[in-house]
């Protein structure tokens, strides 16, 4: 009878050991997941800081724009503005195209221009990041967008829009010195 009891205690001990091993395995798996998550977040933070480092520096130029637009599926925008670069003002012409847009808007915008080493680098087609192009404007709305062109010039634009518009996909804009 004593051997049966010993076997029963031995089995109970083995079960407890297995339970503790499973508990340790569960904890270690969670620690690994947390470690991987922290590495990913650290990497994303580094990329975000690298992508926005121009926000902390002084802009090379400033930009003031006044634009209007109309769209029914495919939209067109137009406008003009002034680029202030090295103490001089230069007139700017704005033309743009968007897809998936419906509505009519007018806007005034202020922008800070970065990575502008030569005046001629300003001219070009500026693209908008995907996150900065989707949305709805009702009445008077404030928006912010980062644009960049083929020469590496970056424009951080803050605008106030009037009108009604829904923009489902991105587009781009051509900025040319006149």
For the stretch 80-98, pLDDT in tens is 889 999 999 999 988 875 5
Closest CA to 110 of 131, 92, 136: 92
What angle (nearest 5°) sits at the alpha carbon of residue 159, between those of residues 155 and 164? 130
Full pLDDT tens readout for the chain, 178 residues: 667 777 777 777 778 888 888 888 888 888 888 888 777 777 666 555 555 554 558 999 999 988 766 554 445 567 888 999 999 999 998 887 554 444 556 677 888 999 999 999 999 998 875 444 444 443 455 667 788 899 999 988 887 765 544 444 456 788 899 9
Q: Record the pTM.
A: 0.57
What angle (nearest 5°) sits at the alpha carbon of residue 169, between those of residues 165 and 172? 90
3-state secondary structure 96-145: EEEEEEEEEEEEEEEEEEECCCCHHHHCEEEEECHHHCCEEEEEEEEEEE
CB atoms within 10 A of CB 24: 10
């Amino acid at each position: 009878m004593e051997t049966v009891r010993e076997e029963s205690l031995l089995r109970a001990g083995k079960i407890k050991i297995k339970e503790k091993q499973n508990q340790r395995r569960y904890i270690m798996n969670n620690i690994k997941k947390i470690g991987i998550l922290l590495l990913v977040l650290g990497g994303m933070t580094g990329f975000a800081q690298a992508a926005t480092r121009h926000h902390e520096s002084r802009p090379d130029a400033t930009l003031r724009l006044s634009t209007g637009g109309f769209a029914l599926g495919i939209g067109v925008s137009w406008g003009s503005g002034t680029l202030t670069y090295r103490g001089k003002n230069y007139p700017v012409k704005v033309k743009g195209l968007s897809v998936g847009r419906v509505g009519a808007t007018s806007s005034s915008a202020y922008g800070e221009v970065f990575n502008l080493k030569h005046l001629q680098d300003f001219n070009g087609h500026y693209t908008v990041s995907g996150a900065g192009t989707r949305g709805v404007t009702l009445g008077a709305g404030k928006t912010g967008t980062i644009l960049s062109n083929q020469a590496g010039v970056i424009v951080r634009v803050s605008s106030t829009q009037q009108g009604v518009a829904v923009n489902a996909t991105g587009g781009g804009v051509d900025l040319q010195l006149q």
